[in-house]
Structure 1
Amino acid sequence: MASTMQLSKSEIVAASLQKIQMELRTQKMPLREAVAETCRILFAFGHDSGLSGQITARAEQPGTYWTQRLGLGFDEITSDNLLLVNEDLEVLEGSGMPNPANRFHSWLYRARPDLNCIVHSHAPHASALAMLEVPLVISHMDTCVLYDQCAFLEKWPGIPVGNEEGEIISGALGDKKAILLSHHGLLVAGATVEEACVLGVMFERAARLQLLAMAAGPIQPIPHDLGCEAQRWVSTQKRFEATFAYYSRRARRGLGAE
């Protein structure tokens, strides 16, 4: 005899979240390995743009973070060739130099102590929206991890290597976890590397869906309460870890975006 058929949706959601938390098996990578794997995942999902884009993760010592070495593509990053830098982008560990555009990451980490990983890329569909100066619209269930979480910087401040750009971008992000930067690209940030990686992949997918939908007609909004419900449903650390592990397996099989 079924015992759950009379339960309300909220009761089923609560019970399911608890079961996911208790029973979904995940395994976290060490921090440096997770950062390097994020680089390779983003490459597999089409985020590479030469030497553009940065993935950073807050390190143990305050005011420091890990990032990739300038001169290497996303697909070439390993845990061994990552650099540990301070807020002035001085290398504390590793060989080489970081991308000077990492400066705005320093500003973001200062402004948002809740964020521990930042993903910035010039993925093609997000960049196409950026060229149109059109904000990202979340109107599909699959991309609701970004619902009500995406800010928009309408005016391009130029190359992001000065402190002015750091102030502008961190201010525009506000309390959100993602932002579309006009004439530039995407930026997402999370409490963990796994969260930031998932948000980065889903941002580009959302941009691709938006461009496809815009070509056919006006995009219809989803109800705000349902969008928020969906965002909460998929935004658990367990879910991020499981999705990150799947993206990793997919990247290692040589599979990219659909």
Structure 2
Amino acid sequence: MADTLNDPKDVLVDRAARQMSDHFADSTLSTRQKLALTCRIAFDGGHDSGLAGQISARGREPGTYYTQRLGLGFDEITEDNLLLVDEDLQVLEGEGMANPANRFHSWIYRVREDVNCIVHTHSLHTAALAMLEVPLVVSQMDTTPLYDDCAFLKDWPGVPVGNEEGEIISAALGDKRAILLAHHGQLVTGATVEEACNLAVLIERAARLQLLAMAAGTVQPLDPALAREAHDWTSTDRRSKANFAYYARRALRNHPDCVTGKVEL
């Protein structure tokens, strides 16, 4: 005999949240391992654009963060070849140099204390949408974590290696978790590596869906109240961890070299 078929939605939502908290524990992966896996997940998810794009996560000490070495593609990143840099992009650990375009990561970390990971790529469909100079439109259930949570920078500031670009991009991002950069690509942030990785996967899917829908007709909006409800329900820490674990398992099957030792997911 079923006991929950007459329960209201809010009761079922609370129950599901408690169950996810019980079943999806905190990860035992290190920040380096999560970042290396995120690079491989991004590569497999259509974010590859040669050497363009940067993925970073805060280091243990204030004003430091991990990022990939310039000259390596996302599919070549391992936990061992990541760099630890300071805000001036001086290498503190590792060999090689960081991408000079990482400078705007320093600006975002400075103004957003809630951000612990940044994924910036020139993924195919976000870059294509950015060429049209139109904002991202979220109109499908799976992509609602980005609903009213993706800013838009219409004016391309040029190659983002100066402090000016850091000021412009961090200001345009505001308090959102994501931003579409016209004539450029996308950038997502997260309180955790898992959250940022998940949003990176979703923003590329959302851009692809938008382009397909625009080619077929007029994109219809979501009901705002329902969209915000879905945004909050799909943006919890436990859901981010569960999604990341799935993406990481898939990445490890394709790229077992990206982490060292046995990984439990």
TM-score exceeds 0.5: yes
Equivalent residue number for residue 173 of structure 2: 173
Instruction: Find out whether 1:40 has 2:40 as its counterpart.
Output: yes
Whichever residue aligns with residue 135 of structure 1, its letter is: P
Equivalent residue number for residue 152 of structure 1: 152
Equivalent residue number for residue 263 of structure 2: none
SS in 1 for 2:166: helix
Equivalent residue number for residue 191 of structure 2: 191
* Counterpart-to-counterpart distance in 1, 2:24 and 2:80: 30
Equivalent residue number for residue 161 of structure 1: 161
Q: Quick one: percent identity of the two aligned structures?
A: 65
* Counterpart-to-counterpart distance in 1, 2:252 and 2:44: 9
Deviation of the 1:27 alpha carbon: 3.2
Q: Structure 2 vs 1, CA of residues 25 and 114 (structure 1 numbering), >3 Å: closer, same or farther?
A: closer
* Counterpart-to-counterpart distance in 1, 2:75 and 2:208: 22
Deviation of the 1:11 alpha carbon: 1.3
Instruction: Find out whether 1:58 has 2:58 as its counterpart.
Output: yes
Deviation of the 1:215 alpha carbon: 0.4
Q: Is the contact made by 1:35 and 1:79 (CA closer than 8 Å) also made in structure 2?
A: yes
Instruction: Find out whether 1:225 has 2:189 as its counterpart.
Output: no
Q: Is the contact made by 1:66 and 1:85 (CA closer than 8 Å) also made in structure 2?
A: yes
Q: Is the contact made by 2:24 and 2:241 (CA closer than 8 Å) also made in structure 1?
A: no
Whichever residue aligns with residue 52 of structure 1, its letter is: A
Equivalent residue number for residue 89 of structure 1: 89
Deviation of the 1:26 alpha carbon: 5.8
* Counterpart-to-counterpart distance in 1, 2:28 and 2:153: 33
* Counterpart-to-counterpart distance in 2, 1:26 and 1:141: 26
Whichever residue aligns with residue 226 of structure 2, its letter is: L
Deviation of the 1:239 alpha carbon: 1.0
SS in 2 for 1:151: strand
Equivalent residue number for residue 200 of structure 2: 200
Equivalent residue number for residue 22 of structure 1: 22
Deviation of the 1:24 alpha carbon: 3.1
Whichever residue aligns with residue 97 of structure 1, its letter is: M
Q: Is the contact made by 1:28 and 1:241 (CA closer than 8 Å) also made in structure 2?
A: no
* Counterpart-to-counterpart distance in 2, 1:208 and 1:97: 33
Q: Is the contact made by 2:37 and 2:251 (CA closer than 8 Å) also made in structure 1?
A: no
SS in 1 for 2:242: helix
Instruction: Find out whether 1:211 has 2:211 as its counterpart.
Output: yes
Q: 200-209 or 231-240: which moved more?
A: 231-240
Q: Is the contact made by 2:59 and 2:66 (CA closer than 8 Å) also made in structure 1?
A: yes
SS in 2 for 1:189: strand
* Counterpart-to-counterpart distance in 2, 1:108 and 1:166: 7
Equivalent residue number for residue 128 of structure 1: 128
Q: Is the contact made by 2:35 and 2:193 (CA closer than 8 Å) also made in structure 1?
A: yes
Q: Is the contact made by 1:48 and 1:74 (CA closer than 8 Å) also made in structure 2?
A: yes
Deviation of the 1:25 alpha carbon: 4.9
Q: Is the contact made by 2:70 and 2:99 (CA closer than 8 Å) also made in structure 1?
A: yes
User: What is the aligned residue count?
Assistant: 255
Per the normalisation by structure 1, the TM-score is: 0.96
The C-alpha deviation readout for 1:220-256, integer Å capped at 9, x for no partner, is 000111111111111111111111111122223349x
Unaligned segments of structure 2, at least 5 residues: 256-265
SS in 1 for 2:137: coil
Equivalent residue number for residue 75 of structure 2: 75
* Counterpart-to-counterpart distance in 1, 2:103 and 2:158: 14
Instruction: Find out whether 1:111 has 2:114 as its counterpart.
Output: no
Deviation of the 1:23 alpha carbon: 2.3
The C-alpha deviation readout for 1:181-200, integer Å capped at 9, x for no partner, is 00000000000000000000
* Counterpart-to-counterpart distance in 1, 2:240 and 2:22: 15
Q: CA RMSD in A?
A: 1.2
Q: Is the contact made by 1:26 and 1:242 (CA closer than 8 Å) also made in structure 2?
A: no
